[in-house]
Amino acid sequence: MTHKIAVIQNPPVLLDLPATIARAVASINEVAQAGAELAVFPEAFLPGYPSWAWRLKPGADMGLAGEIHDRLRRNAVDIDGGALAPLADAASKHRITVICGMNEIEQRYSGSTLFNTVVVIGADGKLLNRHRKLMPTNPERMVWGMGDASGLRVVDTPVGRIGCLICWENYMPLARFDLYAQNLEILVAPTWDCGEGWLASMRHIAREGGCWVISLATALHASDIPGDFPQRDTLFSADEWLCDGDAVVFEPFGGPIAGPLHRKQEVLYAEIDPARAARARRSFDVAGHYARPDIFQLNVNRAAMPPATFSD
């Protein structure tokens, strides 16, 4: 049975959470009307990927970094506080599964740390999974904390069994194997990476895992940066693409069936059949008959890692 999916490459309203959530809801409404059963948004879509972290000069731009980070923190997503309710309501209204990347603020303990998070919202509006990026990359470590493996899970949805790895987590062989070993049918890879090297990796994962691979980044042009962004014209060139997007869908053990969508701020649609994943693994099942557990074993600690426990 095939399902129509929508890979949404439109940009956010950078550092404006209410406006970006409104844009996300409008996109969900749009793709649902087009018959999509799954809507996928890029890495850190709410309220935008911190591309400035790659451009700030270490030490010299501490004040500027603090100013931008404070705005990001004030517009980060408090999941436990109900900030995703508009997306959950849209998912439930249209009976559509929604996957969305975000800057999440942890309010339960420190109230300050941000995480690079991706959530899976079910077609009934319930939160099926929250995965925090295990290891922020390079200057991202000045923006986000490290996540634990409590969300490193594959979940059942009406369109198939879905697991998510964020950006360069997809380069972590053990993280991929963790998902393969949970009967993964669809890998969703929200990212900020793009280009031929990244697309080659996505093709490899589709072959290695015998799974569908959905990858997308935000197609973001400098003209999308708000005019009140601190030192915008110093950090960004007026005519540059900050990220090309390159939304793509690879079939199990095969090539692309849709995309890549290069430098286009629009939606990529595709039809997928989750049952094809199991069929693709007949000859090579990396977590099954090709696993050799007598030689290789993977132990995954999926326990939550709170910074403190309290007894009254």
> Which positions of the chain have pLDDT values less than 50?
none
Q: Which amino acid is at 64?
A: L
- Is 167 among the catalytic positions? yes
- Is 164 among the catalytic positions? no
- Per annotation, catalytic residue among 37, 43, 140, 251: 43
Return the pLDDT at 55. 93
- Per annotation, catalytic residue among 100, 106, 133, 185: 133
Would you tell me the crossing angle of helices 85-94 and 17-33 to the nearest 10 degrees?
10
Return the pLDDT at 57. 84
Return the pLDDT at 61. 86
Q: What share of the chain is helix, strand, coil (3-state, %, to 5)?
A: 30, 25, 45
CA 144 – CA 301 distance, rounded (Å):
21
- Per annotation, catalytic residue among 164, 167, 211, 243: 167
Alpha carbon of 245 to those of 58, 154, 182: distances in Å?
Answer: 27, 25, 29
Return the pLDDT at 46. 98
CATH class held by domain 3-280: alpha beta
CA 165 – CA 176 distance, rounded (Å):
8
Return the pLDDT at 58. 79
- Is 133 among the catalytic positions? yes
Give the domain ranges of the chain.
Answer: 3-280
Dihedrals φ, ψ of 228, to 5°?
-90, 10
CB 262 within 8 Å of CB 246: yes
Q: Which amino acid is at 253?
A: F
Return the pLDDT at 59. 75
CA 106 – CA 108 distance, rounded (Å):
6
User: What is 242-293 written as a DSSP string?
Assistant: EE-EEEEEE-TTS-EEEEEEES--SEEEEEE-THHHHHHTSS--TTTTT--T
Read off the pLDDT of residues 48-65 as tens digits, 9 standing for 90 and up: 999 999 999 877 789 999
pTM for the whole thing?
0.96
Dihedrals φ, ψ of 280, to 5°?
-70, -20
Return the pLDDT at 267. 98
